[in-house]
A = this chain, B = another copy of it.
Amino acid sequence: MEELKKRILKEGTAIGTEIIRVDSFLNHQLDTKFLEKIGQEFAARFEGCTVDRILTVETSGIAVAVAAARYFGDPPVVFARKTMPSTMDSNSYAAASRSFTKETVSVLRVEKKYIRLCDNVLILDDFLAHGEAATALTEIAKQAGANVVGIGVVIEKRYQGGRAKLEEAGYRVESLASIEEIRNGKIIFSE
């Protein structure tokens, strides 16, 4: 998605060789008009697929999933929780996910009633890094007996291997911008 790449180059900041900040439109401030374009692009990529449910994970994934839902006919959006609020049912599917950025391990949880057997689930998220969160979401879908239609991410950091891991496990991955590496502080996109 050319407009996305332009914005990453213009507004994004590379931190070290691993981290990319896009706080001006995706992770802290949200450009909702642009998020709609992102949603439309996901719908184009997954055209022809039945999507009964969009699955994401808090925090920034929520904005992406909510903006995209209308282009999939407004299926339910479910966001996995990283912490267990006192209001949450303990009757949940759960899978661990390590965050390399935060150096923590979270257990992602979705209440059982919010994913159904045979649901066609599309996983959406803001970033694909090492694939930990996406893998946890596929595990949650698997526990529910749901079918994973694919995994759509706004920005893929290909150098962190998430795509390779997910594709090896048999999942279709669509990223709207794929970053090959950060070289001398510069963001280099994949061909």
* Chain A residues proximal to chain B, CB less than 8 Å: 15, 19, 21, 23-24, 27-33, 35-36, 58-60, 62-63, 65-67, 69-70, 74, 76-79, 81, 85-89, 101-102, 110-111, 114
Contact = CB atoms under 8 A, between A and B. Distances in A.
B87 A32 contact: no
B111 A79 contact: no
Contact of A59 (B27, B28, B62, B87): B62
B66 A28 contact: no
13 contacts: A15-B87, A19-B87, A23-B114, A29-B78, A31-B76, A58-B58, A58-B59, A59-B59, A60-B62, A62-B63, A66-B66, A66-B67, A87-B101
A32 B74 contact: yes
Most buried by B among A30, A58, A74: A30
Given A32-B66, A114-B29, A86 B74 contact: no
Given A23-B87, A66-B66, 19 more contacts: A19-B86, A21-B87, A23-B88, A23-B89, A28-B79, A28-B88, A28-B114, A30-B62, A30-B65, A30-B69, A30-B76, A31-B74, A32-B66, A32-B77, A36-B70, A60-B62, A63-B66, A63-B77, A86-B102
Contacts of A27: 85, 87
A78 B23 CA distance: 10
